Homo-oligomer: A and B are copies of this chain.
Amino acid sequence: MFNSEFLLKLSDVGNDSPEYLETLFTLSNGHVGVRASEPIKRGFVVGNPGTFMNGFYDSYPIVYGEWAYGYAKNHQTIVKLPDIRGIVLEIEGERSDQSQWSITKEAFYLDMHRGKLEESYLIRTKNNKQLKLTIQSFTSFKYREIYASKYSISESNFAGEVIIEKDLQLLNLKQTKLTDTSDPRVASSKSQLKMAYRNSQIASLTTEQSQQTVLFTQMNQQTGELQSVDPLISRASILVQPRSIKSAINVVAFSDFYVDTKVTEQTVEDFQKRLTGMTYEELLIQQEQMVNDFWTVSDIRIDGHEALQKGLRFNLFHLFQSAGREGKTNYSAKGLTGEGYEGHYFWDTEMYILPFFIYTQPEIAKELLSYRHYILPKAKERAKEMGQKGALFAWRTINGEEASAYYPAGTAQVHINADISYAFQLYEKVTGDSAFIKEVGAEVIYETARFWLSYGSWIKKNGKQQFCINGVTGPDEYTALVNNNYYTNKMAQNNLRYAVELAERYHNLSVQNEYADWRKAAEAIYLPYDEETKRVKQDDSFFEKEVWPFSQTPKENYPLLLHYHPMVIYKYQVCKQADALLAELLFPQDYSKEQIIRDYEYYESVTTHDSSLSRSVFSILASRTDQPEKGYSYFMDTALMDLTDLQGNVKDGIHAANMGGSWLSMIYGFAGLSYLEDKIVVRNHLPEEIKELEFKLKIAGNLIAFHISLKRISAEIKEAGKPITITADKSVITIKLTEG
């Protein structure tokens, strides 16, 4: 019973198109992601099969119709590697890719509790040989190089030989491309990979332009440990008998990636060594243990809605699967499930995905944050190129360089600097891990603060000198290149304040002449507010525009970006997402409930939710302002977004940030979690549709279990960490770090 809630079956999902299923059932461990393609290869290609590696990309020049100084120079595009799931079956001399067989899917499910995919197929060949093929596969969380499959054959109606062939060379050459280049949200390039043997057991794939190389090998096991075979082609021969069950194991392993010139013989040897002596059974036990550990902390249990329960777990599982875990990669907008958005990392990580990790898997959060420090040199170069001091993080990137070819909705989103600062800060406050901030975070915070001082301007507003940030685009991409985007300014203020806090705490000599100016700018930052309507203004000119003619806009014209020229969209009061509300969500102590409700009503009326990041913000603020129907309704609109293929583009990959948003809607919304100046608060905002909500948070090393029902709220420390004080009343629990 408990278990079945963790099994994602075909009957749980929105449709049965191959590309869609490939995405949904992708196995990933943050290093490698394997789309769940049809495993048995036929004479034709089904779907859009392939494998992705986090951070493995190719690069080529961006062509501009009209070039200007400072434009991003190169595309970076995640590379589709061979479909390592694909096998050719040979049954008594007949090959699956050369004749017409009847293949029936008997079972197909993702066991999210154990972190593996289970499949079985009933096969009848042209010569009426029948058998059942069962496949168990997983990407190992313990050894991120490894994708392991176990092929079992049973129920054969004959005695004879079955050969399972995995030909990675062939599969590579067959890689196809199914993208629509007229939609800016999908990728638009492809790389020809160069394959080469490094020794008899290790081969490599090298990208055309970026010269990134990954080593790979293929190992088989029939008895005992895994044995390296030819990395390009492996064959396992199985002698079957009716009523017997015989199995073969295949493992494909991908190394980390290198610049090709740095792959020495030693590198190859080390890779080989690391893989020696493994067995499938050990890998499987480790896998189950690690996934179990994940659920122990990160699971959310709700009562009263079985499909939703499974959908949430699906979201949590995918969130867990695709995160980079070694400090040099991050979280692609589509995870490692597809090539949408070219595999780029955005602010999505910091603002929609990291809270989940910070509060439940802080070790992964730390690795994701470390990535920003890793690319800090690139961000400093970019700031310089833009004529600014400090660092400016790329709006979209893999290698740290700006890859946005449309700067008004790319580079101009300088808020990403402050988003990153906010995430470091949240990490510190929740985990208490100040050592990491001192060693890694502070430099990022200082450099981003420096950027604000450089990019911003002191301008007289309402009779006094205020610190303004002109010429930016906020998260709402339906408004671009404005002055004083509220969200940006509010976040920059926070960035500056945090920088001052760290500078004072650590007495860093490098910033001692600067931080007084940071403080001055932070305290005098201009936050646009309309005194007449008492509303927060999205930016200086937002209320000077006409409201979008919603009543004259047919339904099929949404999302607007695919039906109207940007300059037309920009001249209206219309939001893809309401970034002013996001600011109110992030700084709850700064806004009265009345203020939030006033802003909520207005921004709701002009927001199209054309961004998948929009609804969770509306859900959370509705919950927090005691509008439970809206809180629930906005939540439900997107909680099952990918399972129901709401936007029809899951084929290009999951909406990772939206999955993070579903966690936020529940925990920041229904459970009212908020981080205030010196405490973390949980409140009961449960909508009546959800009877009970159980979840755990890790706060300062303490694992705390929360239980919320319509009537009560409780917390229990499951594992102790640093000293904390928990106080509770009927609907509020307050957690404070206690001076130890």
Which residues of A does B touch, CB under 8 Å?
Answer: 62-72, 75, 181-182, 184, 385-388, 404-408, 410-412, 457-459, 461, 468, 470-472, 480-481, 483, 540-541, 544-546, 561-568, 570-571
Question: Is the beta-carbon distance between B567 and A412 smaller than 8 angstroms?
Answer: yes
A566 touches B68 (CB 8 A): yes
- CA–CA, A483 and B542, complex, Å: 10
Q: How far is the CA of A386 from the CA of B571 in the complex (A)?
A: 13
A483–B482 alpha-carbon span in the complex (Å): 10
- Quick check: A546 and B480 within 8 Å, CB to CB? no
| B residues near A458, Cβ cutoff 8 Å | 546
In the complex the two chains form, is B75's CB within 8 Å of A65's CB?
Answer: yes
Contact status B404-A66, CB under 8 Å: yes
**A389 shortest CB reach to chain B, Å:** 13
Q: Tell whether, in the assembled complex, residue A406 and residue B457 are in contact, meaning their CB atoms are under 8 Å apart.
A: no
Q: Can you report 24 residue pairs joining A to B where beta carbons are below 8 Å apart?
A: A63-B63, A64-B405, A66-B184, A66-B410, A68-B561, A69-B563, A69-B564, A69-B566, A70-B566, A386-B565, A386-B568, A407-B565, A407-B566, A407-B567, A408-B408, A411-B565, A457-B545, A459-B546, A470-B544, A470-B571, A483-B541, A483-B544, A483-B545, A540-B541
Contacts A64-B64, A457-B546, A544-B540 given; indicate if A567 touches B387 (C-beta within 8 A): no
Q: Smallest CB–CB gap between A477 and chain B, Å? A: 10
* CB contact between A67 and one of B182, B471, B570 (< 8 Å): that residue: B182
Is the Cβ of A64 less than 8 Å from the Cβ of B67?
no
When the two chains form their complex, are residues A565 and B470 in contact, meaning their CB atoms are under 8 A apart?
A: no
A69 is contacted by which of B181, B387, B561, B570 (Cβ under 8 Å)? B561
Contacts A470-B544, A471-B570, A568-B471; is A68 near B406 (CB within 8 Å)? yes
Q: Is the CB of B567 within 8 A of A471?
A: yes
The reply to whether B470 and A545 form a contact with Cβ atoms under 8 Å apart is yes
How many of these chains are in the complex?
2
6 A-B pairs with the lowest CB-CB distances in the bound complex, closest first: A65-B405, A471-B571, A70-B565, A457-B546, A66-B406, A62-B65
Q: Which residues of B contact A67 (CB under 8 A)?
A: 181-182, 184
- From A565, which residue of chain B is reached at the shortest CB distance? B70
Q: A405-B65, A406-B68 are in contact. Are A459 and B545 (CB under 8 A)?
A: yes
Per the bound structure, the CA–CA distance linking A70 and B567 in Å amounts to: 9
Are A66 and B405 in touch, CB under 8 angstroms?
yes
Across the interface, which residues of B come within 8 angstroms of A72, CB to CB? 65
Docked pose: A184 CA to B68 CA in angstroms: 7
CB distance from A553 to the nearest CB of B (A): 10
List residues of chain B with CB within 8 A of the CB of A571.
457, 470-471, 483
Complex interface: chain B residues within 8 A of A470 (CB):
544-546, 571
Docked Cα-Cα span, A515 to B622, in Å, equals 47
Which residues of chain B are near A386, meaning CB under 8 Å? 565, 568
Besides A387-B564, A411-B567, A483-B544, 20 new A-B residue pairs in contact (Cβ under 8 A), listed by A number: A65-B72, A66-B410, A68-B406, A70-B564, A70-B568, A386-B565, A387-B565, A387-B568, A388-B568, A407-B565, A408-B408, A408-B567, A459-B544, A468-B544, A470-B544, A470-B545, A471-B567, A472-B567, A481-B567, A541-B541
C-alpha spacing A93/B566, complex, angstroms = 65
CA distance A70 to B540 in the complex (A): 27
